[in-house]
Amino acid sequence: MIRFRLDVEDLASTRFAISPLSETVFSLWALCDPGRYALHLPWLRSVRPGLGTLDMQLLMSLVGPTFAVPDFLTPRPAVFAPDIDDELAIVRATPLDVVRRDLVATYAPDGLPDRLSGPLAELVTDLCDLLYRYWKAAIAPVWRQIRLLLEADMTYRARRLATGGARLLFADLHPNVRWHDGTLHIDKMIGKHSVSVSGRGLLLLPSLFAYKPVPPMGADEPPWFAYPCRGAATLWATPPAADPNALTALIGAARTGLLVLLEEPLATSEIARRLNVTPSAVSQHLQVLHATGLVTRTRVGRNVLYRRGSLGDQLLKGP
């Protein structure tokens, strides 16, 4: 069991983030054990042909015999949605003694395989280059769909927090996660340690490929953990194209235009500027689209950003 002890300040600083590098590393689990990841078989079938030029033996060696992965390959994001290049730059700068420690912990109590036993500086460079190539081949082509799914989960969690506080936020993250008396307990873990968050805030990462909570293996790592996001079973569906005239007849030309525009997050004022209409007119349509689940909204500072959700994507593509 791993425990995170949080005081009032820690709860106030609890936040969410999205990590393209963590998702890239976690997706290796699906390659290692497709039977455990039946939901992702369509993705597996689509990406395998493009992996032939990669050093798959080295890539798969990053998953230990207990399905652990080295902590240094999944650094805690410092911003909401870092670029994978920035995350890999952090990995490249990892002290070599930390790299060695994390690799040994991944394979404990066994020794390291030959592919991970060479000079560490060269190994880190090779791993970063390989992970980037793997990201481009397997994750980047579907990253927008994945990110929308992760953001939809965060919107749901934010609503839980707003209506029931931290207790409700943590209540359905995963059956192995429970909140009691100021401590977040993660059961059925290999590690057995307790971490005092101590003003650093807890970071939560929704993940498509995590099948259970994934905290760092080391007790001295910054406090964060990934958890399985909602809706993974819906991600790989590919509905046929729709008749745009039928969609316009259903929800109207103005709302259809909004759905098309909201491929990227936009504030009401920016939407109004692009469409050359008043913000109040835009707000009325957005309220309807949000109430029906076709768009999502997230507050960033003083702005509320709207973006087409997965249901809106499906509606545009058709039944």
CB 205 within 8 A of CB 227: yes
Q: What is the 3-state secondary structure (H, E, C) of 134-177?
A: HHHHHHHHHHHHHHHHHHHHHHHHHHHHHHHHHHHHHHCCCCCE
Proportion of the chain above pLDDT 90, given as a percent: 42
Predicted confidence band of residue 99 (pLDDT cuts 50, 70, 90): very high
Q: Where are the domains of the chain?
A: 2-233, 239-317
What are the φ and ψ backbone dihedral angles of 122, each rounded to 5 degrees? -65, -40
User: What is the reported pLDDT for 237?
Assistant: 63
Whether residue 303 has pLDDT greater than 80: no
Whether residue 239 has pLDDT greater than 50: no
Rounded Cα distance between 115 and 107, Å, is 13
Rounded Cα distance between 319 and 312, Å, is 12
Predicted confidence band of residue 301 (pLDDT cuts 50, 70, 90): low
Give the chain's mean pLDDT: 87
User: What is the reported pLDDT for 124?
Assistant: 97
Residue type, 99: V
CB atoms within 10 A of CB 174: 17
Rounded Cα distance between 271 and 254, Å, is 12
Rounded Cα distance between 37 and 252, Å, is 40
pLDDT digits 0-9 by tens, 171-224: 888 999 988 888 888 888 777 778 788 778 888 999 999 989 888 887 777 888
User: What is the reported pLDDT for 300?
Assistant: 65
CB 184 within 8 A of CB 204: no
Whether residue 242 has pLDDT greater than 70: no
Q: Which of 96-110, 140-154, 290-304 has the lowest mean pLDDT?
A: 290-304
Whether residue 145 has pLDDT greater than 90: no
CB 58 within 8 A of CB 113: no
CATH: 3.40.50.10480, 3.60.20.10, 3.40.920.10, 1.10.10.10. Which one for 239-317? Answer: 1.10.10.10
Whether residue 243 has pLDDT greater than 60: no
Closest CA to 151 of 271, 36, 297, 13: 297
Residue with tokens 């030309």: 253
User: What is the reported pLDDT for 240?
Assistant: 44
CA torsion angle 170 214 218 121 (round to 10): -140
**Radius of gyration of the chain from Cα atoms?**
21
Whether residue 98 has pLDDT greater than 90: yes
Q: Which two tokens stand for residue 51?
A: 């992996």
Residue with tokens 């259903």: 250
pLDDT digits 0-9 by tens, 244-288: 565 566 678 888 888 888 887 888 887 887 787 888 889 989 988
